[in-house]
Amino acid sequence: MKLILPVEIAHEIEPHLPENTTVVRVDSEGNIDGDATDAEIYFSWFYLQQNTLHRVLDAAPLLRWHHAPNAGVNHILTPKYLERDLILTNGAGVHGIPIAEFVITYLLAYSKRLPSLYKLQNQHNWQRGLPIQELFDKTLLIIGAGGIGQEIAVRAKAFGMRIFGSCRHPEPLPNFDKVVGANKWKELLPEADFVVISTPLTAETKGMIDVETLGLFRTDSYLINIARGAIVDESALATALQEGWIAGAALDTVFTEPLPAQSPLWTLPNVFITPHCSGNSPRVKERTLALFLDNFNRYCQGKSLRNVVDKTAGY
């Protein structure tokens, strides 16, 4: 059996493979260091470019299974890719813990007024009386109650928050007080103090946080996006933030990354921008490799793979 592995981590994977496997390596440009015409498996790496993906597809006509380390695969599902009958698995779950911790950071930074407190410290200003709030008894709406959403709920529930969620197939979930269908979350906005976007980017979710939707938010609600920037209409969001339709936003992802210097989001006082780093952790690689190796063993034994992507749904 032959595998195509990224040069960045091939040396960490190869010692765990059976002796009867052959590895060819591919770099970030799609250059392959051997013959991939009979390769069955492709393990891509983070920040996969479409031209790299397409070069691998051209070089490996017998490819059967592709594992991507990301949870989001919208950048992979190109027309050329969808022409191939490939099993696609993703890294759903490997980023859940660090992203959930980051969401708690956003919640606390806003509720405890940390930016203002840092500013006062820099000014040597012992000012009291800031409107500091508790998370206890606040309502958190998680749009996308999948793996990441559930990790967020575990941690938010520990603060005594009320947790609402939405997903494609709603069912009772641990730590959630209410779970609704994917098209019902707008009905919960009047009750939400905080709204977290953790849904995949698909044709249905692209631009779904638009002018109309933002008009349904409470004026004291706070939006957090740790999913994909294209889910939010940025022009509408900037207007909502400037005109007070919502209280503020924490954005770890934006439509164009890096965020252009001329974007008004940089200078709005009620926006907390982070450079798409909420999923960063030294343990992500460890979890990613473990997931791939577990799936590789399943593949060799003819068992069902974990995290198979529904390419029609997009996740």
Catalytic residue list = 228, 257, 276
Tally of CB atoms within 10 A around 117: 15
Q: Which of 276, 64, 281, 4 is nearest to 151 (CA)?
A: 281
**The residue type at 9:** I
Rounded Cα distance, 249 and 191, in Å:
17
Q: Which of 176, 154, 34 is nearest to 96 (CA)?
A: 154
Query: Tokens 């950048």 — which residue?
Result: 75
Query: Tokens 């991507």 — which residue?
Result: 68
H-only helix segments in the chain: 10-13, 50-59, 79-82, 96-111, 114-122, 147-157, 211-214, 234-243, 282-300
Peptide bond into 258 cis (omega under 30): yes
Tally of CB atoms within 10 A around 133: 12
CB contact at 8 A, 227 and 95: no
3-state SS, residue 154 = helix
3-state SS, residue 295 = helix
